[in-house]
Each structure stands twice: as C-alpha cells, then as structure tokens.
Amino acid sequence: MTTATGAQEITYLEAISQALDEEMRQDPRVFLLGEDIGVYGGAFRITEGFQDKYGEWRVLDTPLSESAIVGAAIGAGMMGMRPVAEMQFADFISCAFDQLTEVAAKNHYRWGAAVPIVIRAPYGGGIHGGPFHSACPEAWFFHTPGLKIVAPATAYDAKGLLKAAIRDNNPVIYLEHKFLYRRIKEVLPEEEFVVPIGQAKVVREGQDLSLITYGAMVHVALEAAEILEREGIAMEVVDLRTLVPMDTDTILESVRKTSKVMVLHEDTKTGGVGAEIAARIAEQAFDALDGPIIRVAAPDTPVPYSPPLEAFFIPKVDDVLEAARGLAAY
C-alpha cells in the first residue's frame, strides 16, 4: 500500500528482509546460513533472491542440523565474520541448545572472545502449526547469562533491532513472530535507523494500570486497551522489545505511575519471562503496588494443532480484558 505522501508500507517480514539486505550490502563480513535459505529463499521467503545477489558463499544452504548451523556460526563469528543463522522454526533451536548455552553464551566469560552471531528464530502460534512449529522458546534462553534476546512487535522494530543485533559483538537470539509476518505493515523511514538493544517503549500511555508485554501480544494488549478506554479504564502498554538485557527502569517507572500491573506473554505461564518481571517488581517497587501482580499467559501444555484449541491456548483480548477489569476494581 502506498500512502498519500507516496511512501510505501512494508510488512514485518519485508522489514526483516530489508535489514538483512542492508547489512550484507554495507558489511562484507555479514553472511547468512540456514536450511533452504538460498535457492528456495527460505521457508517464509525472507531471503528470496539473496543467493543470486550475494552468491552461494554468503547465503549458505545447510544440512538439516541446527547444531551444525549454530556451531559453524560460532566458529565464523570468532574468526571475525558476522553470521546470521536461521532456525527454520524456533522450536528446532532446541537441537542447538548445547552450542548456544555452553559455547556461544560462555566464550566471552571464559576468555574474552567476542561471538557476534545472530540466531533468527521464527516463533509463536496463530498459524495452526501444532506443537512442533509454534513454540515460544524465550524462557529456555532467558535464564542463560551471555545471550541477548530481542522480540520485535512492529515492522520498525523488526528492522531496527535486527540491524542492531547484527552489529552487536554478543550472541543475539532474534525472535521474529510468524503470525506478524504479513499482518503488520508500517511506513519506515528512508534513511538508515537502528533500534538500540535493551530499551523498552511505552506504546500507549495510561494512568490506571500497566501492562508489560512483547512480540505479538503487544497488538493484543493495544486492542484490549482501546476497549478498556471506552469503559473508563486507562491502561498503559509497555513493549519490552528486548528481553535480555531487560529495561527494568521503564517497567518500574510505569508501575510507580499506575500502581497496578499485569504481565502478558504468549509463552506458557510457569517459569516464563512474566515470572521474572513480577519478581523484579515485587523486589523493587512493592511499596508502589495497590494490587496483586497479574500474569496472563498460555496454559502449561504444548501448543495444540486443532484451531479451536489453539485459539483457546493463546492469550487473547478477552483474557486481557477479564484480568484488567478485575485488577482495576481491586
């Protein structure tokens, strides 16, 4: 879609593709590796045409081995390259768990070695992918010192955070939500921009309660906030954008402003990112609270394949509304 000013709207998916293209054009050390990303252009067509443009040595089709993909990326990164490795679906990142948590995350601690790699991980449900293609794996790595984790919710952040991740000297897990790929559109600046890692953003101001979230749930939160406003409840929405390092200052500032807080994420509830956020608030802003810290998250089961069950499983607007109304009246 073209706007009245002639600017072109691009999708979340196209923003990711643009970031990769720009960084590869600017820095010959940047290269891509993953399953079917070259000739085929990737499972979601994000790297379509890249191999023709940059050659097969900078857009590498790999065997079906996530451990080998990440291991090769770590080695290349330690030798001065800036690899971007794709997990075709984030669920399969578990096959590379040892490489990420025992090698990439610890090399700087052990001998000061930089590991400038990015792991692109298409994650999340809403696409009827079932239990092996819909997981949110952030909590697995959230507990691992040495890894950075980003989770953009908009096309602007998808592009800006990916560029920042590629330029970072640390291993970064880049969570890109599959449900947003072609559903979210935005007009992006023509000039180059980068979104700094580690900075949350208040995407909607409010005075009555705060909702802390990230990824696709940002849009669920904003839709719920619109409905609540018509009921006289002003809900502030904070988009974390980065999970590690977490912008605790922005979270606490919002909590102290509203005195009531909810945490929303698509991942399952027990041991999730929301539990850590709740703990930090309880430790550092307990005196500001006028109600319990509420978590809205998926139930502790694998992601169902059945569309009706998946719709029940993933947190939705009605879930947020029910929790928010109860908290506002507390």
How many separate domains does the chain show?
Answer: 2
Question: From CA 330, how far away is CA 91, in angstroms rounded?
Answer: 38
Which one of 108, 128, 133, 219 is the catalytic residue?
A: 133
Judge if 208 and 173 occupy the same domain. no
Q: CATH code at 147?
A: 3.40.50.970
Average pLDDT over residues 196-206: 98
Judge if 165 and 212 occupy the same domain. no
**Per the domain annotation, does 3 fall within a domain?**
no
**Per the domain annotation, does 193 fall within a domain?**
no
- Tell me the pLDDT band of 6, cut-offs 50, 70 and 90: low
Judge if 14 and 163 occupy the same domain. yes
Q: Are strands 294-298 and 261-268 parallel, antiparallel or unpaired?
A: parallel
Helix or strand (DSSP H, E) at 204 = strand 201-204
Q: Which residue range forms the structural domain that includes residue 222?
A: 201-328
Question: From CA 255, how far away is CA 281, in angstroms rounded?
Answer: 8
End-to-end Cα, the chain, rounded Å = 44
At 100 the three-state DSSP class reads: helix
Question: From CA 253, how far away is CA 105, in angstroms rounded?
Answer: 30
The tens digit of pLDDT for each residue in 53-76 reads 999 999 999 999 999 999 999 999
Q: Is the pLDDT of residue 3 over 90?
A: no
Q: Answer with the residue of higher pLDDT: 330 or 263.
A: 263
Q: Is the pLDDT of residue 2 over 70?
A: no
Q: Is the pLDDT of residue 280 over 80?
A: yes
Judge if 241 and 127 occupy the same domain. no
Residue 153 neighbours by CB under 8 Å, 6+ apart: 177, 180, 184, 214, 215, 216, 217, 218, 219, 239, 241
pLDDT at 8: 83
Q: Is the pLDDT of residue 96 over 90?
A: yes
At 120 the three-state DSSP class reads: strand
Judge if 166 and 283 occupy the same domain. no
Judge if 182 and 34 occupy the same domain. yes
The tens digit of pLDDT for each residue in 225-274 reads 999 999 999 999 999 999 999 999 999 999 999 999 999 999 999 999 99
Domain termination residue (choose one: 120, 154, 187): 187
Judge if 47 and 166 occupy the same domain. yes
- Using CA atoms, how far residue 100 sits from 6, 70, 84, 302, in Å, is 44, 7, 14, 23
| pTM of the predicted model as reported, rounded to 2 decimal places | 0.96
The tens digit of pLDDT for each residue in 18-57 reads 999 999 999 999 999 999 999 999 999 999 999 999 999 9
Q: Is the pLDDT of residue 137 over 70?
A: yes
Judge if 100 and 216 occupy the same domain. no
**Per the domain annotation, does 257 fall within a domain?**
yes
**Per the domain annotation, does 298 fall within a domain?**
yes
The tens digit of pLDDT for each residue in 300-324 reads 999 999 999 999 999 999 999 999 9
Q: CATH code at 274?
A: 3.40.50.920
Judge if 311 and 217 occupy the same domain. yes
Q: Side chain identity at 76, as an amino acid letter? A: A
Judge if 158 and 215 occupy the same domain. no
Domain termination residue (choose one: 187, 215, 243): 187
**Per the domain annotation, does 112 fall within a domain?**
yes
- Our answer to whether residue 133 is catalytic in this structure is yes
Residue 112 neighbours by CB under 8 Å, 6+ apart: none
**Per the domain annotation, does 2 fall within a domain?**
no
Judge if 156 and 212 occupy the same domain. no
- Tell me the pLDDT band of 1, cut-offs 50, 70 and 90: low
**Per the domain annotation, does 4 fall within a domain?**
no
CB atoms within 10 A of CB 113: 13
Domain termination residue (choose one: 159, 187, 215): 187
**Per the domain annotation, does 320 fall within a domain?**
yes
Mean pLDDT taken over the chain: 96
Judge if 219 and 258 occupy the same domain. yes
